[in-house]
Structure 1
Amino acid sequence: MTVKALAPAPSGASAPARIWDVVRLHVANPWNTLVVPWVITFAIFGLNLAIWLMVASAAGGVENLEPDAFAYNGGISWLAVFMMVVAVQAMNLTFKFALGFSVTRRDYYLGSVLYFVLLSLLYATGVTAIAAVERATDGWGLGAAFFAPWGLPGEPIATIWFLYLMVLLLFFFLGAAVATVWVRWGPNGLYAFFIGLAALVVGAGWFVTTTDSWPAVGEFFTSRSLVELAAWTLPLSIACGVVGHLFLRRSTPRS
């Protein structure tokens, strides 16, 4: 992958100008962050639509299917996971280049974080807009739900947008933390990171099990709205962002 030349901010430029230069650096080659996610999303949607049409045809029409036959689809969930990959790729490809222009690690990280926030807003808004079209067309005439599946078809559009925004921010910031681990410690650091993460998840499950707290966990999730549950991801996103910043402070470009 090549990156177009980015003119560094003039000497003495303000911090916002330097940070915006980093955003421009990420945008210089938009393929991985602005093109590929949409292409794959619409490809997955097209395959699902083809399958739905085949099933409806085999059944002799949509009226012969259960009302929610196509409402439980997890295809759009790939986007959130891929955003973590996007964050890792974006930072791995631009970190060395940015430092070559004497961009400080602080400005580079803040610029990258700003870019990830902007991407989250873009994708949350785009997916929600398509979900609104999906709802207006009665699930593309098939009662289907791809862009707002599971329990989302009955939720307000604003709730769907907020949910997508919070989830995308979480995966972007998790990706940023993973990227800084790779930049600083390489593959061995990445192995240790995921082993530690797995141990943390298993340890939490063990603690909940041994303290008979699963009913309380279930009550926590079932007694709260989607907006509240989505908002609970924000502290974790911020924590990932802080960890990424701390890791990047002493990172050196890898050859």
Structure 2
Amino acid sequence: MNRIGSVVRLQLVGWPSTLGGAWVLLAGIFLVNLALFASIGAGGDAVTISPQTGAVSSIYIIMFVGGLTTFTQVFPFALALSVLRRTFYVAFSLLLLAQSLLFGLLLTLCKLAEDATDGWGIGMDFFGVGPLDQDNVLLQIVVYTVPFVVFGFSAAFLSIAYKRWAMIGMFVLAVTAVVVLGGLAVLITWQQWWTGIGRWIADQPTAALLGGWPLILAALAAAAGYLTIRRVTP
């Protein structure tokens, strides 16, 4: 356990550019959106709907990039220090889960502040956009947290696969994804299942649709990464 803790600290060496940088970038994007929509309102233009922006997604993209850099930059250095692959991956997973929960909590606090100020005084929906907007606080935390886990483990698997199989592996993964997804689309269209699938999705509770099913994807990506990293060379 002490070994895992040491590897976690190793992965946190560059935290100002990963953890802190994500929020600095998000804050900058938020201020730009706030100034933009405030200037539109100040110009006297009639606004019939609440200003909405999906810019909060930027922090999830940063999480994805962070997962990539962990295994392309930190992982080889850890192996040079005789860190076991399994230890590194377990440490990454624990750190990812903790970071995802922390980010989910912080985003929820921002969402509560947005609601309390009636959209920052101008009716802007920055944090509570579309399906991300939940009335239940606990569900709100889940909705914000789960995508971080999905993006993190997906990035880890892709970067590990690249280190093991290089570009040929990426090409095979891309072709496989296109064939599988394209085949499913053809099958669903042929059998005329789109209406039934749409009805099934609409009937899903929010907790399952935004918190349950995505976690299955995260678990699959985590398992694939764990199995792949065992034979990766620096």
Contact 1:92-1:179 at 8 Å conserved across structures: yes
Alignment CA distance shift 1:151-1:99 (3 Å): closer
Match of 2:130, SS state, is: coil
Identify which of 156, 178, 185 aligns with 1:205.
185
Identify which of 65, 80, 92 aligns with 2:47.
65
Aligned to 2:215: 234
Shift of residue 171, structure 1, vs aligned partner: 0.8
Alignment CA distance shift 1:229-1:202 (3 Å): same
Shift of residue 206, structure 1, vs aligned partner: 2.2
TM-score calculated relative to the size of structure 1 = 0.85
Match of 1:232, SS state, is: helix
TM-score calculated relative to the size of structure 2 = 0.93
In structure 1, distance between residues paired with 2:175 and 2:182: 10
Contact 1:221-1:229 at 8 Å conserved across structures: yes
Contact 2:153-2:222 at 8 Å conserved across structures: yes
In structure 1, distance between residues paired with 2:160 and 2:29: 30
Aligned to 1:88: 68
Aligned to 2:8: 23
Matched, 1:184 2:164: yes
Alignment CA distance shift 1:197-1:36 (3 Å): farther
Alignment CA distance shift 1:100-1:17 (3 Å): same
Shift of residue 250, structure 1, vs aligned partner: 0.4
Matched, 1:124 2:109: no
Compare the two structures and name the one with the higher helix fraction: 2
Give ranges in structure 1 of 5+ residues lacking alignment: 1-15
Alignment CA distance shift 1:153-1:103 (3 Å): closer
Contact 1:91-1:112 at 8 Å conserved across structures: no
In structure 2, distance between residues paired with 1:79 and 1:197: 25
In structure 2, distance between residues paired with 1:238 and 1:227: 17
Shift of residue 151, structure 1, vs aligned partner: 4.1
How many pairs align?
233
Match of 1:76, SS state, is: helix
Alignment CA distance shift 1:154-1:59 (3 Å): farther
In structure 2, distance between residues paired with 1:181 and 1:28: 24
What amino acid sits opposite 1:53 in the alignment? A
What amino acid sits opposite 1:229 in the alignment? L
Shift of residue 154, structure 1, vs aligned partner: 5.2
Aligned to 2:35: 50
Alignment CA distance shift 1:98-1:151 (3 Å): closer
Contact 1:73-1:150 at 8 Å conserved across structures: no
Matched, 1:250 2:231: yes
Contact 1:32-1:86 at 8 Å conserved across structures: no
Matched, 1:224 2:209: no
